[in-house]
Amino acid sequence: MKRFALESTWLRFAFHNALRNRRRSLVTVSVAALGSAALLLAGGFAYSTYEGLAQSAARSSGHLIVGTAEHFDKEEDTPLQYGLSNVAQLDKQILSDPAVRYVLPRVEFSGLISNGDKSTIMLGVGIDADAEFAVKGPFLKVVAGSILQDPNSTDIVIGEALARSLKATPGSNLTLMVSTTEGALNAMDVNVRGIVTTGIPDIDKRLIYTGIHNAQSLLHTDKVSSLGVFLNSMQATPEAQHRLRQQLNGLTIQNWEDQAFFYRSVRALYNRIFGALGCIISLIVVFVVANAMAMAIIERTRETGSLRAMGTLPGELIRSFSYEGMFLGGSGALLGAAIAVGVALLLTVFPVQMPPPPGRSTGYPLLISLDLNMYLLTISGMIVLSMLSSALIARRTLNQPVVDALAHT
């Protein structure tokens, strides 16, 4: 109890000392606040980018992708050489997992698409039209026409850039030409149902969606390339992947991140950029707090000398100055956190559109994620760094003899 009372006394002493030179303290707190806000806003932007890219990757391929090992590791000599059979049975097994919401088969194929006068390369995907477009959500935008509705029709949906290249509009008739699973050539007349964009021009130049039965008929097969497994949440991915690996012997189950090359590249880049930025801002805050404490200690040299002459231990004085640094750095960190939260909330009320990043044709809203762990880590980091810098400055200054401190002018 006595120790607690003593600590409270030193805390009050440090608090009042921090208010002695209010202008200097205000500048120190302001720099710490701006530094903390910059760290939190930059980190929130990075987190928001990670979340958006993760959602885009998961909605595109599925949280989990089920296929044969050769499908992921080898190049096929003929279409669906390493495809999946007995899809209905696999679908039933996977849906028995409590975390699974949808299991969507996909048939991937390539070939030529022609309007009669011009032919170009296509990358086609046979899909379950009833659910595929629903899970893609905002990451697939319908530019004209509508999405696929009748799974047994010969309708297709094509990318915006491909439609431009072929001068196709909803209702246009085109021809698909592919190599079948037996190596023969096959062609099919199709009708353009709609035009969509993924926001990535290189994909939109080749993209075709058609019903899975239409794709299987075109390729003369009943196989599928892979199964996209969509879960209740992103957080359920590791556990569901482990369970399905035990349940589906002989098959390979990858998660969305295994196929999200762009996500991994952006995350690695942002981690380096914002990591370096965080170190620079932290050093600036530390130097500002240390400078403020050095000036305060020098101004109070005779005062600290008097306290030491009356029996106050150097360790107690160092503790007092570290508490003073804690108040300055902590106040700045809390103020910076409040600024960051305010900016993040303002961006939800007054949205700001970012320009398209490299490799994309559409912009995206600027959002700042509010991650509790990041805020706690930043605030506690600022407090600890401020206390350490103050303690180090105080320790070097308080090592001088008491007589010299009392004679200081």
Over the stretch 42-65, which tens digit does the pLDDT of each residue have?
999 989 988 888 888 888 888 999
Most confident of 7-16, 129-138, 204-213, 316-325: 204-213
What per-residue confidence (pLDDT) applies to 354? Answer: 82
Kindly report, residue by residue over 320-341, the tens digit of the pLDDT: 778 888 888 888 899 999 999 9
Is residue 1 over pLDDT 60? no
The answer to whether 70 and 225 are in contact (CB under 8 A) is no
Alpha-carbon distance of 409 to 399, in angstroms, equals 17
Residue 2: pLDDT over 60? no
Residue entry with tokens 């208010």: 19
Residue 345: is its pLDDT beyond 90?
A: yes
Tell whether pTM > 0.85.
Answer: no
Secondary-structure breakdown of the chain: helix, strand, coil percentages, each rounded to the nearest 5 = 55, 20, 25
Q: What does each C-alpha distance from 163 to 31, 113, 388 come to in angstroms?
A: 54, 11, 63
Cα angle 343, 265, 357 (rounded to 5 degrees) comes to 55
- pLDDT tens for residues 168-223? 999 999 999 999 988 889 999 999 999 999 888 888 999 999 999 899 999 999 89
Q: Rounded distance, CA 196 to CA 206, Å? A: 12
pLDDT: is 129 or 190 the higher one? 190
- Sorted by sequence, the CB contacts under 8 Å of residue 7 that are 6+ apart come out as none
Q: Residue 316: pLDDT band by 50, 70, 90 thresholds?
A: confident
Q: In the structure encoding, which two tokens stand for residue 312, read together?
A: 């106050």
pLDDT score at 301 = 67
Cα(129)–Cα(107) distance, rounded to whole angstroms? Answer: 12
Q: Is the model's pLDDT at 311 over the cut of 70?
A: no
